[in-house]
Structure 1
């Protein structure tokens, strides 16, 4: 399935008429019909009910139209932004992040950076810390926020936060009677480990916290997404150790408790290319320092 297939299908699906769609696309009707048939054959699904008058989309066709509209809109946005950048009208700044950092200071940083740099297009990419390393070196992003130290001379990492871990428990759990929970108590409970892959990741930091106390937790299940992990906690499958900022994800069926051990932390690390003196990166780093200084005074 290629972009032209989606463009042709979008035209036919919105016009519900092959002749009008062909005129809109500036092509003849027979090749357009062949392209739609080719798309249906590739997907193994009928997209248009040709027996109906006027033409009607099938359920599969309605789904594809919704998805194709979103994809093509994004492609047009990328094309427009690329042309603006090529003409020197705008700069582009790419930010990579692991999902758990979105519960902390990162949203404020993005919001304030966009407001203060109106001539800069900000691109956001959800990437693991290891993926951020590759994206930085390939210049697909300009800065990354992760939780792992990247031992690479081409990259510089700054620890901007040491975030405490907290225990997430289902509402009504017996341990909620305590104000703080020791890792020894948690090791006796089934644990949901996040993320399951790829590794190394935050999951290895959680395991290291237990190992530092000579403990080996019982892994009840591994999940790839943070939201899934919290949902499994709510379902009573097990407990989880998550960064404290995740508490902003309010759910009536999940409660959080701090840990008794002070050393149970996970860093938030800002990575960028070593020696990168781009003005946009310098402005972003100044903003990070300012926002963190404000937060420390609150």
Structure 2
């Protein structure tokens, strides 16, 4: 019958043992001498002798008989060699299985927390259909947080609008997967909404809602430059409003217009998207990834992203 509990003495002996000592013992048997084993293990011979002496003391048995330069295992040593091989082989297989399970969890991919892009849903759907054995683990984050997670290896890849935060490492590679011009989203009740195309003079009469600069400084500056390219100084609404949906709610209430690209979100009936002359600029979404990633599923995902871009 298998033992279900350890005696106090056995538990105390096991606490004094280490995996390192078992590895040293196996290498000594394989090499046949202390000098060769110490060299193979990249340790000093006194260290090897000390560790094996501690192993014998912990087990209360002599494991190796030393006769000159010859080493011979005692009966206790032969038993430990057989059992330690099973223990170390099982531990090695467990470590390798952990690595396989880690890879098998799929990809860790970041997605924007401020806007839902249909192209991301399309890519994920096509990828899962073609590779049902790979399960992307999606993490919603701001651009600033996503940049940090990419830099530190917490994400294999991430979707971010351009330009990216300054803290994103230049070692990243990227692929633009979607692009569309900005439009002014505003209430249909606003007098300016009756115009087919808005000029800089029209937009100068509007309050403009942008995400706070601290949320994504480089993108905020990019949108501000686009508005200023119309020859005006835009009237920016100061509000801690992060998501596109919240921006549209303010527009519905007549508190300001916001920048939206067609095809990104459903537009409520009381709002309208207006073209501008000249264009404010384009909204681009790119997929970023770590070039040093060892995850084999990343290459598969990137291939799917490139195919979608070409279609």
Aligned partner (choices 229, 251, 256) of residue 238 of structure 1: 256
8 Å contact from structure 1 (residues 145, 268) kept in 2: yes
8 Å contact from structure 2 (residues 151, 169) kept in 1: no
Structure 1 stretches lacking a partner, 5+ long: 1-82
Q: Which residue of 2 aligns with 1:42?
A: none
Larger radius of gyration: 2
Taking the aligned partners of 2:197 and 2:266, their CA distance within structure 1 comes to: 20
CA RMSD of aligned residues (A): 2.5
Aligned partner (choices 236, 239, 242) of residue 224 of structure 1: 242
Taking the aligned partners of 2:131 and 2:219, their CA distance within structure 1 comes to: 32
State the shift of 1:209 in Å: 0.5
Q: Which residue of 2 aligns with 1:166?
A: 183
Q: Which residue of 2 aligns with 1:90?
A: 104
Say how many residue pairs are matched.
211
| TM-score, length-scaled by structure 1 | 0.63
Aligned partner (choices 99, 106, 123) of residue 109 of structure 1: 123
State the shift of 1:195 in Å: 4.1
Q: Which residue of 2 aligns with 1:257?
A: 274
8 Å contact from structure 1 (residues 195, 225) kept in 2: no
Q: Which residue of 2 aligns with 1:118?
A: 132
Structure 2 stretches lacking a partner, 5+ long: 1-96
| TM-score, length-scaled by structure 2 | 0.61
8 Å contact from structure 1 (residues 84, 90) kept in 2: no
Residues 194, 178 of structure 1: CA spacing in aligned structure 2 closer, same or farther, 3 A cutoff?
same
Say which SS state the counterpart of residue 267 (structure 2) adopts. coil
Taking the aligned partners of 1:278 and 1:174, their CA distance within structure 2 comes to: 54
8 Å contact from structure 1 (residues 156, 273) kept in 2: yes
8 Å contact from structure 1 (residues 190, 220) kept in 2: yes
1:24-103 superposed matches below 5 A: 87=101, 90-99=104-113, 102-103=116-117
